[in-house]
Amino acid sequence: MSLERGDPAEQELRRLATLPIGPQIENYELSSDPNRLFNLVNYAEAIPLPEHVPSYADLRKGTYPVFEKFLEGLRERLRGVRENGKKVLIVLGTGGTFQSAETDHGLAPLGSLRESFNALGLPEDPSVYVELCDLMNLDSSQMNVDHWRFLAEAIIAIESKASDIYDAIIVTHGTDTMAKGAAYLAFMLQGFPKSIIFTGSQEPARKRGSDAKDQMERAITTAKIASRTERLIAEVMIACGLRVTRAVWGAKLGDKTINVFGPWNQPQGGFDASDWDIAAQTGTLHKLAPALLDYGTGKSYGSLKFARHAIDHEHKGPFQPFTDITNPADIIPATLTDKSPIAFAGHLIRQRINILTQLGSATADDRLVAIALEAARRGKIVLFQAPFADSKVQAGTYAAGAAVRTHLDVIQRKLPILNTSPAALDAKTNFALSRLGIKQVGNSPGLGVFYSSEDLRMFYDLMEQNLVGELV
């Protein structure tokens, strides 16, 4: 069915395009029957979670009582091991490829963590004892803030129950959302006193020749090194590939490469122990701090010294967990180029959080910048993101997009331009909104959800703080 300008149905579609998506909106379905109404939001809201994907409430009701039984006997099980001088590592399983097996529909997480772990055939290490615990068994594409929140709360419970009994925690996780899950934990568990190491694999642990064995061996080695009393690295980390990376710097590099994860914001070369002296003198620690360990270049010790110095250089306060994140991030990033202004305006209306990616040295389509700034003036959340890890985001280098640096009187500041990994930015934005507890003050037909200038100023101020070393 084609619509001509002036056609009543075309006019109605244009009117609906200016409205926020909500249960009250009914859009025309372009079919042979132009009077048939269809509401995509109602359709979306009617789709339940698959039965095998638990919500946070399901986890608290069904899984946490089982986890409490694991906690009850934990001290008794581990006391003798600890007294014998072994490192005690707790491995929490969440599923992912590591625990997957072949089904009629493809790989799916099946079986227990114990089955997958035993299949690895790890060499005996008399210096280490590993305690396994199944928390959930999900494909990582189905993991969301519900599951990461529950994981964080389980780790808090372990620390509260047995802080003097264990040395580090390893989390098995699917690789597709590992960077985001690890970043969420870094924000929710700020100041956590021990190492938390995410790992996974690109082939199931029960598959012959899988990379899972190497990945777990590196995770265990990292846990042993990072938990040494004389140079404890109390960080959330990703040990999957040839590098061990701070959670808020982690990025997946590929599906088949041996170097699965690496730092989002640093060159690929290894670092020597002497590098941190130069970085400290030049004030560039926050930009140059590398992967914590580098198994690929043979510079592990130097990288460790460098990373330890960088982490010490930052302020690390007491353990202050915050896990009360109840909404998904609701972020669909938009790039500020080659978009219809009308379509872009509709995007801003419908989003609770707007992250807009600039180009190069902060260039952008001036029309889109004008629309974004007007939305921000009227109470929408708008953040600008650097396009690359090495971007020097300097609005005004080029005339195009220079208005990004406009001072907005209504919030008495400029909008933040942030340079951090996409996964960390998603997690931080949702964390900051939840931590501040700001509430929407309106939801208008032409603007969607908006907030007060005072709350927005607090939110933008928090986003520009380097909470866990995530900003570069």
Write down the domain spans for the chain.
8-45, 56-313, 334-463
What dotted CATH number matches 56-313?
A: 3.40.50.1170
> Is the distance from CB of 182 to CB of 160 less than 8 angstroms?
no
| Total-model pTM | 0.87
> Is the distance from CB of 140 to CB of 178 less than 8 angstroms?
yes
**What pLDDT is attached to residue 265?**
72
**What pLDDT is attached to residue 96?**
94
Q: Name the nearest CA neighbour of 94 among 185, 12, 30.
A: 185
DSSP H helices in 172-270: 178-188, 212-226
Mean pLDDT, contiguous 10-residue spans, the chain (472 residues): 51 56 42 62 82 92 95 91 91 96 89 95 94 96 96 97 94 96 97 95 93 94 84 88 88 85 68 62 61 67 61 70 92 91 93 90 88 96 86 71 92 92 94 95 92 97 92 80
Rounded to whole angstroms, how far apart are CA atoms 19 and 14? Answer: 9
**What pLDDT is attached to residue 26?**
42
Partners of 93 in the β-ladder:
134, 172
**What pLDDT is attached to residue 173?**
97
Rounded to whole angstroms, how far apart are CA atoms 67 and 221? Answer: 26
Partners of 103 in the β-ladder:
106
Rounded to whole angstroms, how far apart are CA atoms 308 and 293? Answer: 10
Bridge-based pairing state of the strands 243-246 and 293-294: antiparallel
Residues 6+ apart with CB under 8 A from 134: 93, 112, 113, 114
For 90, 131, 141, 180, the CA distances from 236, given in Å and listed in that order, are: 14, 19, 21, 12
